[in-house]
Chain A
Amino acid sequence: MAKRIDVKDLDIYYGDFKAVEGVSLTVEPRSVTAFIGPSGCGKSTVLRTLNRMHEVIPGGRVDGTISLDDQDLYASSMDPVAVRRTVGMVFQRPNPFPTMSIRDNVAAGLKLNGVKNKKQLDEVVEKSLKGANLWNEVKDRLDKPGAGLSGGQQQRLCIARAIAVDPQVLLMDEPCSALDPISTLAIEDLINELKSKYTVVIVTHNMQQAARVSDQTAFFNLKATGQPGRLVEVDDTQKIFSNPTEQATEDYISGRFG
Chain B
Amino acid sequence: MSSITGHSVTDELPHDDGRPPLDADKAGTGRLGDRIFGGLATGSGIFVIALVTLVGVFLIAQAVPSLLNNNANFLTSREWVPSGTDPRFGIVDLLWATVVTSIIAMLIAVPLGVSVALFITQYAPSWLSRPAAALVDLLAAVPSIVYGFWGLKVAGDYFQPVAKFTDTVLGWLPFFEWGGRPSAKSTLAFAGIILAIMILPIVTAISREVFSQVPTAHKEGALALGATKWEMIRTAVLPFGKPGVISAAMLGLGRALGETLAVTLLLSALNPSAPFSFSIFGGGETFASRIANDAGEFDSPQKTGAYIAAGLVLFILTFIVNAAARVVIERRKAFTE
Contact = CB atoms under 8 A, between A and B. Distances in A.
Interface string A88-123: 110101011111100000001100110000000000
Interface residues of B, number: 20
Contact of A95 (B220, B226, B242): B220
A195 interface: no
B309 interface: no
Contact of B240 (A85, A99, A108): A99
A55 to B, nearest CB: 10
Interface string B216-251: 011011111111100100011001101000000000
A53 B215 CA distance: 16
A91 B224 CA distance: 10
A101 B239 CA distance: 13
Interface residues of A, number: 26
A97 B220 contact: no
Contacts of B218: 95, 97-98
Interface string A31-62: 00000000000000000000101001010000
Given A58-B126, A108-B235, A97 B221 contact: yes
Contacts of A161: 221, 225
Question: In the complex, which of the residues B215, B217, B242 has the most CB atoms of chain A within 10 Å of its own CB atom?
Answer: B217
A135 B126 CA distance: 43
Main SS class of interface, B: helix
A91 B221 contact: yes
B239 A84 contact: no
Contacts of A165: 225-226
Nearest to A109: B225
Highest count of chain A CB atoms <10 Å: which of B218, B221, B223, B335: B221
A81 B228 contact: yes
A53 B224 contact: yes
Contact of A81 (B220, B227, B235, B239): B227
A20 B224 CA distance: 21
A112 B232 CA distance: 9
A108 B231 CA distance: 10
Interface in B172-224: 215, 217-218, 220-224
A158 interface: yes
B236 A84 contact: no
Contacts of B235: 97, 108, 112
A162 interface: yes
Contacts of B221: 91, 95-97, 158, 161
21 contacts: A51-B224, A53-B223, A53-B224, A84-B224, A85-B225, A85-B226, A88-B225, A89-B224, A97-B222, A98-B218, A98-B239, A98-B335, A99-B240, A99-B242, A100-B239, A109-B225, A112-B225, A112-B227, A158-B221, A161-B225, A162-B224
Interface of A: 51, 53, 56, 58, 81-82, 84-85, 88-89, 91, 93, 95-100, 108-109, 112-113, 158, 161-162, 165
Given A81-B228, A162-B225, 5 more contacts: A51-B224, A81-B227, A84-B223, A96-B221, A108-B225
